[in-house]
Each structure stands twice: as C-alpha cells, then as structure tokens.
A = this chain, B = another copy of it.
Amino acid sequence: MSKPKKVVLAYSGGLDTSIILKWLQEAYGCEVVTFTADLGQGEELEPAREKAEMLGIRPENIFIEDLREEFVRDFVFPMFRANAVYEGLYLLGTSIARPLIAKRLVEIAEETGADAIAHGATGKGNDQVRFELSAYALNPDIKVIAPWREWDLTSRTKLIEWAEAHQVPVPKDKRGEAPFSVDANLLHTSSEGKVLEDPAQEAPDYVYQRTVNPEDAPDAPEYVEIEFERGDAVGINGRRMSPAELLTALNEYGGKHGVGRLDLVEGRYVGMKSRGIYETPGGTILLAAHRGIEQITLDRGAAHLKDELMPRYAELIYNGYWFSPEREMLQAAIDKSQEHVTGTVRVKLYKGSANVVGRSSPLSLYSEQHVTFEDDAGAYDQKDAAGFIKINALRLKLLAMRDRRAR
C-alpha cells in the first residue's frame, strides 16, 4: 500500500480516536478529515468539532452529520423485515451500523479527495471487518488504516503515555482502565470486555445503561400498539412517526420496562468466542411486533422460507457483508414477502418482557370461518384431509414396505 495522503477518520471525539487522529498525522504525515455521525448513540456531537479543531483539523475537513433517519430507514428497518437474529438471540445492533458509517467515510473521501479512511476498531473484533468489507465494496481503490493493527500501543499505560507525549489531552477519568467497552446507537448498546470476560459470572447491574433492571420496572404492565405498512413500523398508538422517531419512542417504552437485555456468548467472524451484554429495548419490541403482524398477514410458505433464510441473512450482516450480492439477493426475497405485511399489533410490556397479545389487519389471512370449531358453512371439507394425509403418507408407506422386505 502506497502512503496515504489524506485520510477520513471515523472520529467520535473521545480519547481513543483523538489519539488515532494524532497518530495518523505523525505516522503517515497525512492530512486528516474527521467524520462524526449521530447514529443515536446519545452523545453531543459539537464537542467533537472543538476537539478536532484543537487537534489541528481545518474546519472544512470536519464532517458532523445526523444519520439517524437514514440509519433506521435504510438499514435497521430492512433488517427487521427479515426478523434477523444472530445465533438465535442477538439483534445485530452494532453490526448494522457499520456499513452506514463506512459508506459515509467512503463518500466523504470521494468528496474531499482523500485516498484513505481510518477507523478505531481493534484487530480482534468484527467491526474492523464490517468497516473494511463495506468500504472496499463501495470503493475498491480506497486505502484503509486500522491503527490498532499497526501500532505497538498495546497497553493502556503506553497509550496514555503516547497521548501525553503528543499533546493529546487526556481527561482525568480516562486515565485508568474502563471496566468494560461500550458501543451505542439508536438500536442498541453493547458492553463487552474486562468485568464481563468470564461468561460464568452474571453481568453486574451497573453494566446496563439503557434499560432499567426489570425488578425496578413499573409494577403495572403497559400496552403499546404498533402499526405496520409493508413490513415497516410506521406508527405507535395511532400516531404516525418517522423511522428514527419511532425507534426512539420504542426505546423509551422498552427502557422503562427493562425490555431487551441480553447476555450472550457469540462466535466472532474472526474465530474466537466473545461475551457481550446487549440492550436493545425498542428493537426487541419491534421484533416481537413484526413477527406478530406477519402471523396474520404472511402466508405459511413465505413465512417458512423467510425463517430458513434468516440465519444466513443475519450471518451476512454480522460478518460485514451488507454490501454484497448475496445479502441483496436475500433482501430482494424478503422485501418481496412484505408487500402485504400491514396492520396493527398490540404488545404488552412488563418487567423485561414484550409479548404480543393481539394483532389485526385489513389484509389478514386469518379466517375464522375456516378455523372455527363451530359449523363452518362448508368452507372446509374435513374429508379432504383424509386424501391429503393418504397421499402424503404414500412415500412413507412405500418405505415401510421396503424396510419390511429388507429385514
């Protein structure tokens, strides 16, 4: 890789990416462009501008953007159409944010004439893969700098020393080790590392940042009604909302009732297992509700095919292949299935649970007339079932006859 001249850095304004910023200037002698995005992580962005300026970034090289609507509309919602969960449980909150950040990094590089991008993900995690696969898929010539894979600042002490030696201000509370590492966006907050590294030990309650402990949640259940159109949530309790507004509102409901906590050991794409604590309050409600509306609007054939495709789809997102032909193929299939996934779902929230208790739709496939135990006025001829079974049994009978002969 030839030496980069201008680098767009995914910059949070925190200590680590500030050190990276400085290190890029030092190690590569290159011009740095900072990109700070609001994905709903719940932090002010303007301090990042000040810090970038203080570290010598020219104003025109500082990009600060609110991507919340794009994030939910173009990434979170398409993924929820699939009911995607990784390894049966994880709602992919971190995974789904990375492609969007990479996309903007690449676009800003193209706008500013930068030839490289840089990120603060380590060499042990999935995020490096997600950032870089996305970037290469969008711009095959882009260079990617991942300082954590390059430098020798392998301990907190070395890092702080380097920062102090290079005029990177170190806040007092960042001198010691953080007790765990956090990532957050509008969909979720994840915590991992340090105190969480023993998967046999229950995570201490102070790890959770976004949901109350179910034991401290209200003693009375609360109901929320979510409206869907063509597979996407469009309103809550009768009020239409934009995607990011809606997810924000669901997060409030979920957070209040302790919904969406997950303690998981997962298989990373880079090969080792890792333990994470995830909080996905709104997403957990949304997933339950989406399954609820599908229950009455999605045909069994489509629903089962979706369930079979889902693990692969989730794996692709987890592994960083959002911008890949196979993810797009699966998305096309999934989106095709959502054309009539329209209606309203009632979800009951109570001390950590979000359970569907009712669903209705003008496009419902549920037919009380067919299913009823009562007289169905000829909608269904029970004698047909005899033929159905006989024909389905034929190959099993032929097998049984063969097995008799084989004995």
Residues of A within 8 A of B (CB): 83, 87-89, 122-124, 128-129, 132-133, 136-140, 146, 148-149, 154-155, 181, 193-194, 197-203, 214-215, 219, 221, 261-268, 270-275, 291, 295-296, 298-308, 310-312, 315, 321, 323-326, 328-330, 332-337, 340, 346, 348, 350-353, 355-360, 362-368, 370-375, 380-406
Shortest beta-carbon distance from A371 to chain B in Å: 5
Which chain B positions have C-beta within 8 A of A132?
Answer: 389, 393
In the complex, the answer to whether A272 meets B394 with C-beta atoms within 8 Å is: yes
Which chain B positions have C-beta within 8 A of A296?
Answer: 199, 265, 273
In the complex, the answer to whether B371 meets A274 with C-beta atoms within 8 Å is: yes
Which of B124, B300, B329, B359 lies in contact with A333, CB distance below 8 A? B329
Copies in the complex: 4
Which chain B positions have C-beta within 8 A of A304?
Answer: 87, 267, 311, 315, 326
Cα-based distance from A138 to B400 in the complex (angstroms): 6
In the complex, the answer to whether B301 meets A308 with C-beta atoms within 8 Å is: no
Shortest beta-carbon distance from A141 to chain B in Å: 8
In the complex, the answer to whether B387 meets A129 with C-beta atoms within 8 Å is: no
Cα-based distance from A200 to B321 in the complex (angstroms): 31
Shortest beta-carbon distance from A19 to chain B in Å: 16
Shortest beta-carbon distance from A328 to chain B in Å: 6
Which of B221, B302, B346 lies in contact with A326, CB distance below 8 A? B302
Which chain B positions have C-beta within 8 A of A87?
Answer: 291, 295, 303-304, 307
In the complex, the answer to whether A128 meets B302 with C-beta atoms within 8 Å is: no
In the complex, the answer to whether A88 meets B307 with C-beta atoms within 8 Å is: yes
Which chain B positions have C-beta within 8 A of A272?
Answer: 366-367, 370-371, 380, 394-395, 398
14 contacts between A and B (CB under 8 A): A123-B382, A132-B393, A140-B397, A148-B382, A149-B383, A149-B386, A199-B364, A199-B366, A201-B358, A271-B392, A271-B398, A272-B395, A332-B332, A384-B391
Which chain B positions have C-beta within 8 A of A336?
Answer: 325, 328-329, 332
Which of B122, B181, B199, B370 lies in contact with A398, CB distance below 8 A? B370
In the complex, the answer to whether A398 meets B365 with C-beta atoms within 8 Å is: yes
Which chain B positions have C-beta within 8 A of A394?
Answer: 270-272, 370, 380
Cα-based distance from A199 to B297 in the complex (angstroms): 12
Q: Assuming A271-B394, A330-B305, is B202 touching A385 (CB within 8 A)? A: no
